[in-house]
Structure 1
Amino acid sequence: MKIVAATLATIGHSGPFKDDRPLRLAGLTLDPPRVGELLVKIEAAGLCHSDLSVINGDRPRPMPMVLGHEACATVVEVGDPDDPQFAVGDRVSLAFLPACGACVRCLSGEGYLCPKGAAANGKGELLRGGFRLHDAGADVHHHLGVSAFADHAVIDRRSAVKIEGDVPPEIAALFGCAVLTGVGAVLNSAGLRPGESVAIYGLGGVGLAALLGAVAGGGNPISVIDPVAGKRALALELGAAEAFAPGEEDGVAPPDVVIETVGKAVVLQRAYALARRGGRVVTVGLPNPAETFSIPAVSLVADGKTIIGSYLGSSIPARDIPRYIALWRAGRLPVERLLTSVSPIAEINALFDILASGHAVRQVVIP
């Protein structure tokens, strides 16, 4: 079938993107789904720093590629007519790692570390191999198994989690990345216990989702650090006790848990220094691969701190997305407060300028 998608031809763009226009809206050919795959109509897709890091070259990926990995969609066609889980018309939230379900990591409850899913994502292919997107006969790569900046996509069924149909699409989209990653970092990776103190570096979509998770999990007190005054003000409204600009957090009592969402090695070093002795530092940011993180080696023993890498918020999407939606319904996870704007996909390049400026939390595009 013919679709319209936002395609990135090359990496390393520095902006302004509204002038450079690295993402080109163009017609592509989309193959039908194979057994184990779904054809979905994209209803809403969120813009994330993981997309921006491909555009600017911080996270190199094979080109050309259709970006977008956080979305809400409706199933249009099921590759396996006897699929026991999905049917035409189902509403789904899309997650960015299609775990195979059969490897040691998946069987150990660590599907977010699935090597087969990670390898497919790194190659820009779907989990079962190869490409379903083509431009005049040439293959186009998939971003994290989703490629949501399009009106339709073919995904592996393991990238989809069925949700109820009454969740607004612009809200449902956020559960697939921002909420899974941020809330999961606090509740899964850090294992927050009620009454533990928390500090969060970075208040983008993931950082503010981490704040929502810390509030829901009973963190107290919660401190946040971000350079944007408007984001700090929003964090205080959402339950933070203190909000600081970077460099002003020295007076914070060393917390039990520190969440780093910025994706800069220097910020991770600050997060490690801030944590109390015996504290837990969880990092979800994705720095440029050339950046290195340095700490005094003796401090790992002398201070007893733990550094935890958190991918996908150490989440199992099929388990955690329904849980987090239930918390949202109960008013305990106000995900709608993360939404900065809803715009047509034609504005996507200008929207990435806003994201790069640091002034957006979560922007959503409608194909």
Structure 2
Amino acid sequence: MKAAVLREVRTPLQIEEVQISKPGPHEVLVRTVAAGLCHSDLHFIEGSYPHPLPAVLGHESAGIVEQVGSEVRTVRPGDHVITCLSAYCGHCDHCLTGHLSLCVSPDTKRDAAQTSRITQHGRPLPQFLNLSSFAEQMLIHEHACVAVRKDMPLDRAALIGCAVITGVGAVIHTSNVRPGETVAVIGCGGVGLAAINGAAIAGASRIIAVDMAPSKAELAKAVGATDFIDASSADPVAAVLELTKGGVLHAFEAIGRTKTVEQAFAMLQRGGTANIIGMIAPGEMLSLPGAAFLGERRLQGSLMGSNRFPIDMPRLVDFYLSGQLKLDHLISRRIRLEDVNEGFEAMKSGGLARSVIMFD
């Protein structure tokens, strides 16, 4: 099968032929229909985060089940599925207390004695984030996907697999936004736009979008923002404090930079919570005023929206089909697998929401 392989950091992905194994007892073979380009992939391409190479990248996807292992009970051939990198074992402390996104059990992976799920010329290729979805097929653990309604378009469904579950989940689960509360979102890429949309669904009374690109204003408002701050021409902290007369109750940083995390914390009113959704590079440190914590301001991380994806994703599909989740606005363009490098170059410009690879 064809796949986009990263051989060295800071080099273009190569479209190559790789081989995929047969499903083990708890594994599912999925024909990939759509895969979104996420900034997290770009972090690995640029070497900000380490990963064994060569590897097939991609982790935001949807497809159709082709085969299942002998013990699989959650999906069956022909099912339309959304994948999730938060593969969970179902029996560790995290899983049993309802924190599926925190599971790190090795039970969802093949061990060293088994044939690798992906190989090339007989050599194993490490699977990327439990998925490796920049490929025509995926071989994954059954707890890395969930079946959804077949009337859901799979290009939009793919976005739910990362950007949407991360942004909406951070709002609904991690920060528990309630009707009438105030929200600021820094960064209007795919994840930030999903957080804005999630805040609107949650009933937030004021949703302030912040971005360096003024062209994002219309898009942010289309998915639920009440206000837009152009951070290239105004101090976003001062602007938020002025708009809200004292700060927001929930702030979400969806870029992954220390400066914008510090800004998110500075935007809070007393008792407010700042949520880090973006991926801050390893080794980077934050600087926050200690006295601010006396006002019961909080700073917390959010991993994949604190999701319970087997429940959350079908519900998000329902939200889309009922018109509340604005996924159509998140797709800037649809591309071929061969155009993946061009898609990442476009991402760097900052003017797009999401590019989605469509497979034949």
- Residue 217 of structure 2: aligned partner: 232
The 1-side partners of 2:138 and 2:203 are apart by 38
Contact 1:263–1:286 (Cα < 8 Å) also in 2: yes
Structure 1, unpaired ranges of 5+: 14-19, 121-125
- Corresponding position: 1:309 with 2:307: no
- Residue 73 of structure 1: aligned partner: 63
Listed one character per residue, the Cα deviations across residues 255-291 of structure 1 (whole Å, up to 9, x for unaligned) are 0100111100111001001111110111110011021
The 2-side partners of 1:307 and 1:248 are apart by 21
TM-score (norm 2): 0.94
Report the 3-state secondary structure (helix = DSSP H, G, I; strand = E; otherwise coil) of the residue aligned with 1:262: coil
Deviation at 1:83, TM superposition (A): 2.8
The 1-side partners of 2:313 and 2:347 are apart by 25
Q: Which amino acid aligns with 1:261?
A: A
- Corresponding position: 1:356 with 2:348: yes
- Corresponding position: 1:90 with 2:83: no
Contact 2:110–2:117 (Cα < 8 Å) also in 1: no
- Say which of 132, 143, 149 aligns to 2:128: 143
Instruction: Give runs of aligned pairs for residues 163-182 of structure 1, distance below 5 A.
Output: 163-182=148-167
Structure 2, unpaired ranges of 5+: none
Q: How many residue pairs end up in the alignment? A: 348
Q: Which amino acid aligns with 2:296?
A: G
Deviation at 1:165, TM superposition (A): 1.2
The 2-side partners of 1:328 and 1:365 are apart by 20
- Residue 293 of structure 1: aligned partner: 286
- Residue 347 of structure 1: aligned partner: 339
Contact 1:284–1:309 (Cα < 8 Å) also in 2: yes
Report the 3-state secondary structure (helix = DSSP H, G, I; strand = E; otherwise coil) of the residue aligned with 2:338: helix
Aligned-residue identity in percent:
34
Deviation at 1:307, TM superposition (A): 1.2
- Residue 230 of structure 2: aligned partner: 245
- Residue 320 of structure 1: aligned partner: 312
Contact 2:74–2:142 (Cα < 8 Å) also in 1: no
- Say which of 49, 53, 58 aligns to 2:48: 58
TM-score (norm 1): 0.92
CA RMSD of aligned residues (A): 1.3
Contact 1:281–1:307 (Cα < 8 Å) also in 2: yes
- Residue 7 of structure 1: aligned partner: 5
Contact 2:186–2:209 (Cα < 8 Å) also in 1: yes
Moved over 4 A (4+): none
- Residue 197 of structure 2: aligned partner: 212
The 1-side partners of 2:327 and 2:170 are apart by 16
Deviation at 1:335, TM superposition (A): 1.4
Listed one character per residue, the Cα deviations across residues 273-323 of structure 1 (whole Å, up to 9, x for unaligned) are 1111110111110011021112123322x1211112100100110010011
Instruction: Give runs of aligned pairs for residues 243-282 of structure 1, distance below 5 A.
Output: 243-246=228-231, 247-249=234-236, 250-252=238-240, 253=244, 254-282=247-275
Deviation at 1:230, TM superposition (A): 1.8
Q: Which amino acid aligns with 1:54?
A: F
- Say which of 27, 33, 37 aligns to 1:43: 33
